[in-house]
Amino acid sequence: MNNSTDANIIVTNEQTFRSALYIIFLVWGTTGGSIVISALYAKRSRKSDNDIFLINLTCSDVLTIWFYVGVQFYIMSSRTKGIFFCRYIWPFMSVPLSVSIFTTSSMAVVRSRSVVYAWKQSLSRKSAVCWVLVLWITAIVVIIPAATVSKSALVYCKLHWSNPRHRKVYTGFLFAVQYAIPLIIVTCAYVAIGINLRKYERNVVRRNVRKENFEIIKALAIVVILFGILMLPLQVGWMLWEFGSPTWRRALLHVMNYADVICILHSCLNPCIYGILPKQFRLQYRKWSAELFRSRSLRQSMRRENTAGHDCAQILQDKGREENGLYQGLNGPQETMATALNIDNNACETAT
């Protein structure tokens, strides 16, 4: 009885701790993502290909946080999980995460192309939008096999594969698509950038190009490094869980419980990196903040002027009524009332 009570207390404390982390990540990621999107939306110049990819990356990160946190709160409840939830909601919470991974790889490739082949025309806005659309379609296609075999097991969902070999193949496929291949792509892209910049470091024109791209490259490099570290427990953990021995599974049990939390942390850090590192984005954010506060101050000033004008008009109207009443029945304070009206008129002219 005591062992059962202690176990319940441990489970309750762990759920409370995880819930607190989810709420912190939800507020953190939403705030950071909103700042990035607002600053990019307020950009008056035409959106570049990097801006389009950055907007898509931010949106996918925010959707990852919201989707995952909402699903996890529902899973932690004791409600029965129906077939609709297990087939159409639970598997597809990985779609925004896959889009975020694919977008990070795409940004590295596009930036490498703009540096290594600087004489070529940059990616058009229409091409960037089509590229982003393909990323979303690809992410959905990747998750369809899991959705087709997802079943309800009362209070949780599970993948019911008809053949265990299919489960192993799909696990290896996800590891390659969501982790190994993106790391290889971005590594090759940044190696090409490094070789190119070192080769032409004495060229003045190339140095200007390098200076323009260095801030974005630095941010992308840190994003990739954090991706490799923070996604490692989840991706490698699933591989060891699937292909490892029972001893490995017991050792990985506690790690896998918080591997998803570390994965969500990765989605929260992306907006912070883009808001701190790139000088161009910092300038854009400051410009957007200044315009926001300037417009707010202008609205408050206009509101005060309108209020002052309304008050003056009301005073004149009231004084006029009193004046008419005094002329009709009171003969004494006419001169005093006229003086008061002159004073109020002067005050209103000064206010307006």
Q: Where are the domains of the chain?
A: 1-277
Q: Strand, helix or coil at 47?
A: coil
Q: What is the pTM of this model?
A: 0.74
Rounded Cα gap, residues 135 and 100, in angstroms = 9
Ramachandran region of residue 161, left (φ > 0), alpha (ψ -120 to 50) or beta?
A: beta
Phi and psi at 156, nearest 5°, equal: -150, 175
Confidence (pLDDT) at 316: 46
- Whether residue 99 contacts residue 139, with contact meaning beta carbons closer than 8 Å, is answered with yes
Below-70 pLDDT ranges, the chain: 1-12, 44-45, 197-198, 200-217, 219-220, 274-352
pLDDT of residue 284: 59
Q: What is the pLDDT of residue 215?
A: 65
- Nearest-angstrom CA–CA distance, 271 and 274: 5
Give the integer Cα–Cα distance in Å for 163 and 150.
14
pLDDT tens-digit profile of 116-150?
887 777 788 889 999 999 999 999 999 999 999 99
Residue 351's pLDDT is: 42
Q: What is the DSSP letter of 92?
A: G
Helix-then-strand count for the chain, H and E: 12, 2
Q: Which class is 1-277 in CATH?
A: mainly alpha
- Give the pLDDT confidence score for residue 125 in this predicted structure: 87
Distances (CA, A) of 181 to 13, 93, 131: 38, 21, 18
Contact between 122 and 50 under an 8 Å Cβ cutoff? The reply is no
Question: What pLDDT is attached to residue 226?
Answer: 86
Query: In this predicted structure, what is the pLDDT of residue 275?
Result: 61
pLDDT in the model for residue 349: 43
Q: So what's the pLDDT on residue 337?
A: 39
